[in-house]
Structure 1
Amino acid sequence: MYTREQLIALVQDHTATHETYPFNKTNSHETIIWTVMKHTASNKITAMIFEREAVLYLTLKLTPDHVDEMIKTRGITRAYHMNKRHWITIAVNDTEATKQEMLGMLAESERLTKQ
């Protein structure tokens, strides 16, 4: 089981990213806190971390073929707030994906957002 802080640390430990909070405006009605991990070289979004209804989520960019493959795994869906052809959302603590698979997808997301 991961906490939000542990998941942020995991992403930072395995990618060249920095933490940002661009969607959390003080006057927003949004109650979800979005942690956006941006690639240090390109400043593109590599990963997004958020909690909704006590479920911790990680959103990553994958190749379209890999997205099609991974959405067959329990706990992984097309990212509803991103391009569904390229992005997935993982229910981190409620998925059949292993830590190694998540790290592989994280590396792929970093590679795809590097430039």
Structure 2
Amino acid sequence: MSDCARTAIADLDQLLEEERAALLGGDLAALDKLLERKSVLIETLAREATSIPQELEPLQIKLRRNRELFEQALAGLRAVSDRLQALREVHEGGETYDVSGRRRSIEKGAQHRLEKRA
């Protein structure tokens, strides 16, 4: 194995740990910065992959682990986005259903009286 490959393996291993910490910490800006370095290191290793398969196995495990964390982070962001959209819709008026089950818009600022009963 070449010194270039050894260095790339060590650098990618360290980068994957940084990526994991960023994912767990919710530091999306750090992920963006790591992406370019990660791509370069993976390309470097891809050129020498036939001579170093056993050294790549731990990196593949970390890559899978980080991909799963990334997918979970995306799912969380989608959930937040959906919730914010729902809150925006409520703020803008929202919708409800009438006694017949038909959808009915509730417009923002519309004056609706609530009947209070004792």
TM-score (norm 2): 0.24
Structure having the higher Rg: 2
**When you count helix as a share of all residues, which structure comes out higher?**
2
Question: Where is the strand percentage greater, Structure 1 or Structure 2?
Answer: 1
TM-score by length of 1: 0.24
Tell me: higher relative CO, structure 1 or 2? Use CA pairs within 8 A at least 6 residues apart. Answer: 1
